Structure 1
């Protein structure tokens, strides 16, 4: 795989990838979503090896791409659950093999089960609209 000049930056709360051959920065979040939050897909889309991607991430934002992808996936999960999407649907949309695996990861990351998160969110929504 040919190595390109690549830089990962954070600007205005967004994560961007700067590539030598692209005139404008590209949204790293969109690339992650399009690649189903998989490191291999992200490195392919950027055009670098996974090893080089790890180096670029560490230099640019100080965390590994795997940790960043996990964070992005859980932020997307939270947004989908807030919209009222069923847990099984969220799990499938975000590339989890089972809803149980999704629930486990969500609870580890957010400290609350997805069902409890939705109940709490909709409880607040109902109380706010009363």
Structure 2
């Protein structure tokens, strides 16, 4: 795979990807979402090998690429659930094979099931609207 000069940095609370020949940086979370939080697809989008991707993340963020992708996917899942997006749709949008996998991952990450989380958050919204 041909290697592009790529750098991942945090700037002003945002995660950015700088490509050597581009004037403006790209948003890493947007690229990750477009890659459906898949490390192999992210490598393809960035034009780097998986080994180089690991290096970029560890040097730029101090965390492994797969762990960051997992965390980012769970943050997006939480936000979608808070907005009232159906659980099956969240699973599909985020690249889970099925909603059961989302359920298992969300429960392991947040210690609450997606349905219980969504119910709680929607109840909070109703309470503040009154």
With normalisation by structure 1, the TM-score equals: 0.96
> Displaced runs of 4+ in structure 1, greater than 6 A?
none
**Aligned residue-pair number:** 130
**What TM-score do the two structures reach when normalised by structure 2?**
0.96
**Cα distance in 2, alignment partners of residues 44 and 31 from structure 1:** 11
What SS does the corresponding residue of 2:101 show, helix, strand or coil?
helix
C-alpha root-mean-square deviation of aligned residues, in Å? 0.8
Q: Does 1:129 align with 2:129?
A: yes
1:115 CA displacement: 0.7
Unaligned runs of 5+ in 1: none
After superposition, the C-alpha distances for 1:10-59 in whole angstroms (9 at most, x for unaligned) are 11221111110111111111111111110011111111101001001100
What corresponds to 2:57 in structure 1? 57
Offset, 1:93: 1.0
In 1, distance between residues paired with 2:74 and 2:45? Answer: 21
Structure 2, unpaired ranges of 5+ = none
